[in-house]
Amino acid sequence: MSRPIALVTGAASGIGAASARLLARDGAFVYCADRDGPGAGSVAAEIGSPSAAPLWLDVTDEAAWATAMQTILEAGHLLSVVVHAAGISAAGTVRNTTLAEWRRVLAVNLDGAFLATRHGIEAMHQQGGAIVLVGSASGIRPAAGAVAYSASKAGLAMLARTAAKECRDAGVPVRVNVVSPGGVKTPLWRAMPFFQELVAQHGSEDAAFAALAGSGPAFATAEDVAQVIGFLVSPAAAQITGVELPVDAGYVL
């Protein structure tokens, strides 16, 4: 059986980095893709050259996607897994979010996911494979004060369902699913001003995460989410497609 070839976006940190490590441990060769070239290189080096390689990729740029796919093909590799973990956070209500900010968030979180899905299906339509998009519980249960982020993540569910149905109806052996975490301890939070204030108030990031969780579910780790992604791209999930799977300890209930 040939070795799985995986492309993981957002692989420089957080869920993307954890997913790249897990897939490599499970036997895949992983392309660690990110706009943060040094970060992707660091994760690939940690995994080791027999199992990983860094790949520069701006997920909002279709030409960059074409170049990335060509690089993989020229290396003699046929993709069988795409994990799209690249994303950005943003705080803002409907009233105070500018159109420019709205477009910036959707460009990364939704346009990027569309391009990952489109190019992933194109690359895998003959040999088959699996695509997992990383959504958010905030795309299922509204998050007041994060309108662009919640809307961008909500769109992933219908993107995955539509792509999965199109693949099924056309006999294309590619599965498309979404994993939607609740609170996860990742560097994404550091860009949020209110989180910076919580860190200053409580003295550490761990204390800030605890304060955010309050009486609700505890924050997950990136590795917790990566385990679910690893399952969805594995043969054990061969009958699962077009599904959004919350990984949120019941937050959306």
- CA-based nearest residue to 130, from 146, 117, 113: 117
How many whole angstroms separate alpha carbon 65 and alpha carbon 134?
A: 18
Compute the residue count for the chain: 253
> Around Cβ 169, how many Cβ atoms within 10 Å?
8
Can you tell me which residue has the tokens 């690089």?
71
> Which one is catalytic: 31, 149, 209, 251?
149
Mutual angle of helices 193-202 and 205-213, in 10-degree steps: 110
Q: b vs e for 133-163, b when ≥16 Cβ sit within 10 Å of the residue's Cβ?
A: bbbbbbbbeeeeebbbbbbbbbbbbebbbeb
Structural tokens at position 98: 């500018």
Residue 149 among the catalytic residues: yes
User: What token pair was written down for 101?
Assistant: 């900010």
Residues involved in catalysis:
149
